[in-house]
């Protein structure tokens, strides 16, 4: 009854008479399975006998094809939301790794390989096949294509996306909290998020850094590679768990690399990662914010963090003050166009979602609360950097996920 009342308030009798194609809305969402949409027991959507004009008394004229296309998109997005959790499960339990390069498997075979329960594995395999991540080979057997295995299992590949799923899952844990912040306008600190966010962030960005930092981004900076090879002082500000810091330390052993982060837990994690990598003697991690870190440096780096800061202009001004003569500021920021229309694509959709749940609340939780957002774009970044006292800013490199900017005083 409640469902019927809700429908009455939105749909008119004339529109309802045009709606029988909704009986195949799942087919429009790429499943090719016809399922009736039922609002209450015994009342399928194509039964219009009990529907009346909307309470406003006004008719509604709609483009049925456009509406159906949107319903298909919405259904696909529901599958994608749930599919993200399926990917994290597959990663956590080693299901993808157990399937990679092994050909076709049954649920029982995969369960035996991974020490999991066959019934859960069977449902997971079916869900992943429905999303197109796995291939259903018939006869109750499934396989993982090599072209899918690399993005899902190889964290040394620039194609790896597994970390994006973990940070996305962790982000949505805070949905209710962020919804309340919509009302209050208050922020929510990065470090207050679920651990999936912190771990997933490292796993999301590290493959790009691993494949680009020493081979492309540093060489693109004016004179910086030679300084690092000879022995330079480097500050990695907002280092998180230290992925970028450790890569710099590994690539340039003659240089002194220090990672700074305001989150004590991240500094502890970074120190452990350094010890595990055998780099503890070549890198330091200290708890400090972007406006309080100290020292004189030939290179100051902000890896995918300036937009998260409450006062990005203040952070850049402080970085300038800590640069040695002839020093360089390197900014790595999410790839973005200067106008919103240039960001209306899958990468932009992901970054705007992350920005809503993570980046904007993080900035608003800090002093100033500039809330730059993850899709600021080069023009907005240029305003901030030049206002901080830098004379030049140029784009030196880019990937589908990042832009790399060089600023000089």
The CATH number of residue 112's host domain is 1.10.10.10
Q: 11 pLDDT exceeds 90?
A: no
Which of the four pLDDT bands, split at 50, 70 and 90, describes residue 4?
A: very low
Q: 16 pLDDT exceeds 60?
A: no
CA-based torsion, 122, 108, 134, 93: positive or negative: positive
Reduced to 3 states, what is the DSSP secondary structure of residue 125?
Answer: helix
Q: Judging by DSSP bridges, how do beta strands 135-138 and 256-261 pair with one another?
A: unpaired
Q: 20 pLDDT exceeds 80?
A: no
Domain ends where: 62, 89, 107? Answer: 62
Is 137 part of a structural domain of the chain?
A: yes
Considering the domain architecture, whether residues 310 and 402 belong to the same structural domain is answered as yes
Considering the domain architecture, whether residues 18 and 89 belong to the same structural domain is answered as no
Considering the domain architecture, whether residues 271 and 354 belong to the same structural domain is answered as yes
Is 242 part of a structural domain of the chain?
A: yes
Domain ends where: 10, 31, 62? Answer: 62
Is 160 part of a structural domain of the chain?
A: no
Considering the domain architecture, whether residues 282 and 326 belong to the same structural domain is answered as yes
Query: How many CA atoms lie less than 13 Å away from 293 in the CB half-sphere?
Result: 34
Is 161 part of a structural domain of the chain?
A: no
Show Cβ contacts of residue 191 under 8 Å, excluding neighbours closer than 6 positions: 198, 263, 265, 266
Rounded Cα distance, 361 and 371, in Å: 8
Considering the domain architecture, whether residues 54 and 149 belong to the same structural domain is answered as no
Which of the four pLDDT bands, split at 50, 70 and 90, describes residue 83?
A: very high
Is 174 part of a structural domain of the chain?
A: no
Compute the C-alpha angle 167/170/174, nearest 5°: 135
Considering the domain architecture, whether residues 276 and 234 belong to the same structural domain is answered as yes
Domain ends where: 107, 138, 153? Answer: 153
Is 16 part of a structural domain of the chain?
A: yes
pLDDT score at 62: 87
Q: 194 pLDDT exceeds 70?
A: yes
Considering the domain architecture, whether residues 44 and 93 belong to the same structural domain is answered as no
Considering the domain architecture, whether residues 350 and 228 belong to the same structural domain is answered as yes
Considering the domain architecture, whether residues 141 and 240 belong to the same structural domain is answered as no
Considering the domain architecture, whether residues 110 and 243 belong to the same structural domain is answered as no
> Which one-letter DSSP state was computed for residue 54?
-
CATH code of residue 292: 3.40.50.150
Is 31 part of a structural domain of the chain?
A: yes
Which of the four pLDDT bands, split at 50, 70 and 90, describes residue 61?
A: confident
Which of the four pLDDT bands, split at 50, 70 and 90, describes residue 272?
A: very high
Q: What are the pLDDT digits (tens) for 276-286? A: 999 999 999 99
Is 171 part of a structural domain of the chain?
A: no
Considering the domain architecture, whether residues 36 and 132 belong to the same structural domain is answered as no
* Residue 279, domain extent: 186-191+208-408
394 beta partners: 406
Q: What are the pLDDT digits (tens) for 97-118? A: 999 999 999 999 999 999 999 9
Q: 38 pLDDT exceeds 50?
A: no
Q: Which two tokens stand for residue 319?
A: 């970085």
Considering the domain architecture, whether residues 44 and 110 belong to the same structural domain is answered as no
Q: Helical H runs in 213-287?
A: 218-220, 224-230, 243-251, 264-276
Number of structural domains the chain divides into: 3
């Amino acid at each position: 009854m409640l469902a019927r009342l809700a429908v009455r308030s939105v749909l008119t009798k004339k529109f309802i008479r045009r709606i029988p194609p909704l009986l195949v809305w799942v087919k429009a969402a790429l499943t090719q399975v016809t399922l009736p949409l039922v609002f209450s027991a015994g009342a399928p959507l194509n039964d219009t006998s009990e529907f009346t004009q909307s309470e406003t008394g006004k008719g509604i004229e709609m483009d049925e094809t456009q509406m159906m296309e949107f319903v298909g998109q919405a259904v696909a997005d529901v599958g994608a939301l749930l599919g993200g959790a399926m990917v994290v499960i597959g990663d956590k339990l080693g299901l993808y790794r157990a399937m990679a390069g092994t050909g076709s498997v049954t649920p029982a075979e995969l369960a035996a390989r991974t020490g999991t329960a066959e019934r859960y594995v069977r449902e997971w395999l079916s869900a992943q096949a429905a999303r197109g991540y796995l291939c259903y080979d018939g006869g109750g057997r499934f396989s993982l294509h090599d072209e899918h295995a690399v993005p899902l299992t190889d964290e040394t590949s620039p194609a790896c996306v597994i970390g994006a799923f973990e940070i996305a899952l962790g982000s949505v844990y805070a949905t209710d909290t962020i919804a309340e912040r919509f009302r209050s306008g208050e922020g929510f600190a990065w470090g207050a998020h679920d651990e999936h966010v912190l771990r997933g962030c490292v796993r999301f960005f590290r493959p790009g850094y691993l494949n680009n930092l020493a081979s492309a981004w540093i060489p693109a900076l004016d004179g910086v590679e030679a300084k690092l090879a000879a022995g330079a002082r480097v500050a990695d500000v907002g280092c998180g768990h230290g992925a970028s810091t450790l890569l710099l330390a590994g690539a340039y052993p003659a240089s002194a690399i220090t990672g700074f982060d305001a989150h004590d837990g991240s500094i502890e994690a970074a120190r452990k990662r350094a010890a595990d990598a055998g780099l503890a003697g070549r890198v330091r991690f200290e708890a400090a914010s972007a406006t309080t870190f100290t020292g004189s440096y030939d290179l100051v780096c902000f890896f995918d963090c300036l937009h998260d800061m409450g006062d990005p202009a203040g952070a850049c001004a402080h970085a300038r003050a800590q640069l040695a003569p002839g020093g360089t500021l390197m900014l790595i920021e999410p790839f973005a166009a200067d106008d919103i229309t240039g960001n209306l694509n899958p990468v932009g959709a992901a970054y705007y979602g992350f920005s809503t749940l993570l980046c904007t609340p993080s900035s608003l939780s800090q002093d100033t609360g500039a809330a730059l957002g993850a899709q600021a774009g080069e023009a907005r970044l240029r305003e901030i950097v030049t206002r901080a006292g830098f004379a030049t800013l140029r784009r030196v490199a880019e990937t589908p996920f990042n832009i790399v900017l060089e600023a000089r005083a």
